[in-house]
Amino acid sequence: AWLKHKTHGFKDKDGFEREVVRHVETTLARSMFNCDESAAYSACSLAFRDRLILEWNRTQQRQTYNDSKRLYYLSLEFLMGRALDNAMLNVGQKDVAKAGLAELGFRIEDVIEQEHDAALGNGGLGRLAACFLDSLASLNYPAWGYGLRYRYGIFKQEIIDGYQVEVPDYWLDFNPWEFPRHDVTVDVQFYGYVHKTTDESGKAVARWEGGETVKAVAYDVPIPGYDTPTTNNLRLWSSKAASGEFDFQKFNSGDYESSVADQQRAETISAVLYPNDNLDRGKELRLKQQYFWVAASLYDIVRRFKKTKRAWREFPDQVAIQLNDTHPTLAIVELQRILIDLEGLEWDEAWNIVTNTFGYTNHTVLPEALEKWSVGLVQHLLPRHLQIIYDINLFFLQSVERAFPDDRDLLRRVSIIEESQPKMVRMAFLAIVGSHKVNGVAELHSDLIKTTIFKDFVAIFGPDKFTNVTNGVTPRRWLHQANPKLSELIASKTGDQEYLKDLSHLNKIELHLKDAAFRKEWAAIKHANKVRLAEHIKTTTGVEVNPSALFDVQVKRIHEYKRQQMNIFGVIHRYLTLKSLSPEERKKYQPRVSIFGGKAAPGYWMAKQIIHLINSVGAVVNNDKDIGDLLKVVFVEDYNVSKAEMIIPASDISEHISTAGTEASGTSNMKFVLNGGLIIGTCDGANIEITREIGENNIFLFGNLAEDVEDLRHSHTYGSHTIDPDLARVFEEIEKGTFGDSKDFAALITAVRDHGDYYLVSDDFHSYIETHALVDEAYKNQEEWITKCITSVARMGFFTSDRCINEYADGIWNIEPLAVEPAS
């Protein structure tokens, strides 16, 4: 228990206060007399950051001295959220800070609220990367994250007249959590041409020459583990113009403007996070981002390896690199290029090193999300890389041909180059060929990739190359930080806070299932969390919701496959049912608040229509005197990590209702159950494993199964497609204009009725409505409901990201924790 030693923390609250005052007066150059909450936040963060940096240094020294194999997690997204609360809790000194801040005249909650989210991600994939960093540090694994330091994270969402409006998220004004390393830079090359020549020994060599150079500057973010001195590093690259003579020439010749323009063009590379989730648009700037980040990271990794003076063949013994989806796949090509062009290794030797180094995680089966780059674009931007890709493909296809002679169609299907017009590089295929392991993120998903999109590769490489690592979430942020009261209650029943390090200990609370005082407190905590959310809803939307109503939550990126449209159609159905009842009958109905949140990609028109419909329904229902508290519909603006920390603990039931087979895993489903909320969901992603763990009596499953989806879609197109009568009734009401101009919502209706209902909204609607009736019934019996909630939480141990990281470490990375002895 490192927390008890605190050799790395503040001695006491006075020590903490002294540091805060010092930072206010020196770093911030302010006097304590005009120290407001924002300055208190800054100073408090700087004080904690100083502590982390000392441990960060020691951790790096320890890992280097020990010569440990390191994991490098390459992700274009790290959705970190706020850092201060996390840092205080992980070093175990939140109480010290609370007391110190109080003495200085601040409430710690208000100070925490000052922090801007670090929102360098879109959704599930980015937040998973952040949970992984927390687990890696908490388990003492030597690991670094590598990403991009976007100047603008995911846009801020405003809702104006019911529509989403995007506002840029400029978050770097003051960020105490990053350390610029102006001495750690890498020159990254683009464009140019390949010069084939021979070296002194007459061997053919390729030189990549000409083109332009952009400088990558490292910014380091310390990642503290929970109750351990291990502080790992997240290195984010920022782009800058390379200060070459070129600019000077332009400058001197009076072409000042274009010299500044060059600079801005360079800085554009890391300027903004692409806000598409699950959609590949093939934009040149995105490919530039990918190569810029990959090239800088690999240069850094190789530089570190070379310091050990080991032979190249030992590279995979020292280095594991995980590709978070295909976004960093160029790393495979870049490492091969470094080894053969710059280090002079033979192809086979180099390729052996490469394939033993990389692992690839797939996060989606949606065809529109699978990355492809046109051969022409890659040729233009990265001419040498394209040649290497062609060679990788050639050797790969030759080996396939040897194993499967005379199967021309197989060669066509698995070729890394798609022979389309224009020709495309299939990044997922390149990632598979260049990695030693490929994994999906939940059992169903991992099975699906093996039987559908990657089927041929299973035949070629054998089944062992493909594996499953079911996602997990960090209980430190998603229980301890987001729901401190529940965390405390659980600790009081499990004996201590060890369960935050070994989540299987949660099962101890099942022994207290019948403890009346425990149950009462459990219910009171849920209620308090709902009150807090109700207050937020009141101040941000003006809608008053009753905290005793059933809170029904769907918060995630808006996407047709996630089916928020089905949810809002269901809400309309409920509204129509209530309207059709007599006032007496109505009173028997379970009051509900339907809460939505999530961003639509700016170019995703349908998703934006869904947001508009939700808000339009809210505007009618929330002001209907017949309805009152029986039904409220709210859309929480700008859903992000810190909003999630407030919303998730306040949920009674949450919706995870994707068309079966489309949601790779889902991770918020885990967070909701962990916080004592039940879920309604389809047999999709991790819902299936959650059911297995918590028991089918504790979850509301509905809808068609993944195995039936294809046939249903086929029957929509080629058979007769009749719409569910309840859903048809909903459409009729929308078309009557009950929720405003029906033209605004026509596309949402025709997608189901006239365009094949690709997402099976109508097929699942009846079972969805019926299951919601079961939810109402179940909620009426509060005693049984609470039993379900406590039982579920008790059985959620499996879904910690610690388990997940241990599985990657054993099965894919082959890395070991580096133990740390508490100082005596």
Binding residues (CB under 6 A) for ligand 26W: these are: 122-125, 128, 276-280, 325, 363-364, 369, 371, 441, 471, 663-667, 685
Reference 43, options 13, 72, 16, 64; nearest CA is: 16
Active-site residue, selected from the candidate residues 512, 557, 772, 788: 557
Contact 683, 706 (CB under 8 A): yes
Q: What are phi and psi of 811, to 5 degrees?
A: -95, -20
| Separation of CA 625 from chain center | 41
The minimum distance between CB 655 and ligand 26W, in angstroms, equals 14
Contact 335, 357 (CB under 8 A): yes
Q: Which CB sits closer to ligand 26W, 82 or 127? A: 127
Active-site pick, 667, 771, 791, 800 = 667
Whether 286 is catalytic? no
Cα 599 to Cα 76, 119, 521, 556, 610: the distances in Å are 19, 13, 35, 8, 11
> In 10 A of CB 282, how many CB atoms?
12
Instruction: Tell whether the torsion through CA atoms of 483, 486, 487 and 488 is positive or negative.
Output: positive
The least CB distance from residue 667 to ligand 26W, in Å, is: 5
Does the annotation mark 363 as catalytic? yes
Token digits of residue 144: 């670094």
The residue among 435 and 487 lying less far from ligand 26W, judged by its C-beta, is 435
Between 131 and 218, name the residue whose CB sits nearer to ligand 26W. Answer: 131
Answer whether 488's CB lies under 8 Å from 469's CB.
Answer: no
Inter-helix orientation angle 443-451/687-694, to 10°: 140
Least distance to ligand 26W, CB of residue 551, Å? 23
Task: Verify whether residue 667 is a known catalytic residue.
Answer: yes
Contacts of 118 (CB under 8 A, 6+ apart): 78, 79, 80, 81, 82, 83, 153, 171, 175, 177
Name the residue nearer to ligand 26W (CB basis): 345 or 473.
473
| DSSP per-residue codes, 340-372 | IIIS---HHHHHHHHHHHEEEE-----GGGS-E
In Å, what is the CA distance from 98 to each residue of 88, 115, 481, 485, 496?
10, 16, 14, 16, 21
**Structure tokens belonging to residue 19:** 């540091």
What is the rounded distance in angstroms from the CA atom of residue 788 to the CA atom of residue 489?
17
Residue 14 CB, shortest distance to ligand 26W, in Å, is 44
Taking each helix axis as running N to C, give the angle between helix 725-736 and helix 564-580, from 0 to 180 degrees, rounded to the nearest 10.
Answer: 80
Q: Which residues pair with 272 in a beta bridge?
A: 152
Residue 405: cis peptide before it, omega within 30 degrees of 0: no
653 is written with which tokens? 């039931």
Closer to ligand 26W by Cβ: residue 123 or 147: 123
CA 531 from chain centre, in angstroms, equals 28
CB of 471 to ligand 26W, least distance (A): 5
Q: Compute φ and ψ for 558, nearest 5 degrees.
A: -80, 125
Q: 285 vs 823, which CB is nearer to ligand 26W? A: 285
Judge whether 793 and 785 are in contact, CB under 8 Å. no
Q: Is the separation of the CB atoms in 196 and 387 below 8 Å? A: no
Q: Is 512 a catalytic residue?
A: no
Output the DSSP codes for 271-310.
TB----SS-----HHHHHHHHHHHHHHHHHHHHHHHHTT-
How many other C-beta atoms can be found within 10 angstroms of the C-beta atom of residue 709?
18
Specify the 3-state DSSP secondary structure of 186: strand
Among the listed residues 49, 215, 656, 671, the single catalytic one is: 671
Identify whether 5 is a catalytic site residue.
Answer: no
Report residue 732: phi and psi, to 5°: -55, -45
Min separation Cβ 445 and ligand 26W, Å? 8
How near is the Cβ of 130 to ligand 26W at its closest, in Å? 11
Closer Cβ to ligand 26W, 55 or 802, answer by number:
802
Exactly one of 8, 51, 127, 363 is catalytic; name it. Answer: 363
Residue 345 corresponds to which amino acid? L
Neighbours of 684 (CB within 10 A): 27
**Nearer of residues 126 and 192 to ligand 26W, judged by Cβ:** 126
**In the numeric block, which tokens belong to residue 378?**
């890659």
User: Residue 282 CB, nearest distance to ligand 26W (Å)?
Assistant: 9
CA separation, residue 6 to residues 103, 233, 329 (Å):
21, 21, 41
Nearer Cβ to ligand 26W (122/231): 122
CB of 370 to ligand 26W, least distance (A): 8
Give me the least distance between CB of 429 and ligand 26W, in Å please: 15
**Closer residue to ligand 26W in complex, CB, 259/665:** 665
The residue count for the chain: 824
With beta carbons less than 8 A apart as the criterion, state whether 98 and 8 touch.
Answer: no
Residue 24 DSSP one-character state: I
656 in catalytic set: no
CB of 324 to ligand 26W, least distance (A): 8
State which residue, 71 or 664, has the beta carbon closest to ligand 26W.
664
What are the contacts of 53-57 at 24+ separation with CB within 8 A? 53/179, 53/222, 54/8, 55/8, 55/222, 55/224, 55/229, 55/230, 55/231, 56/220, 56/222, 56/231, 56/232, 56/233
**Taking the complex as a whole, how short is the minimal distance between the CB of residue 327 and ligand 26W, in angstroms?**
7
Q: Which one of the listed residues 70, 526, 562, 592 is annotated catalytic?
A: 562
Decide whether 439 or 622 has the Cβ nearer to ligand 26W. 439
DSSP helix/strand/coil, 237: strand
Q: Are strands 163-167 and 156-160 parallel, antiparallel or unpaired?
A: antiparallel
Task: Report which residue type is found at 122.
Answer: N
The residue with its CB nearest to ligand 26W is: 124
Catalytically annotated residue among 149, 501, 556, 573: 556
Minimum CB distance to ligand 26W smaller for 114 or for 675: 675
CB of 815 to ligand 26W, least distance (A): 21
Mode of pairing for the β-strands spanning 550-555 and 70-74: unpaired
Q: What is the set of active-site residues?
A: 363, 556-557, 562, 667, 671
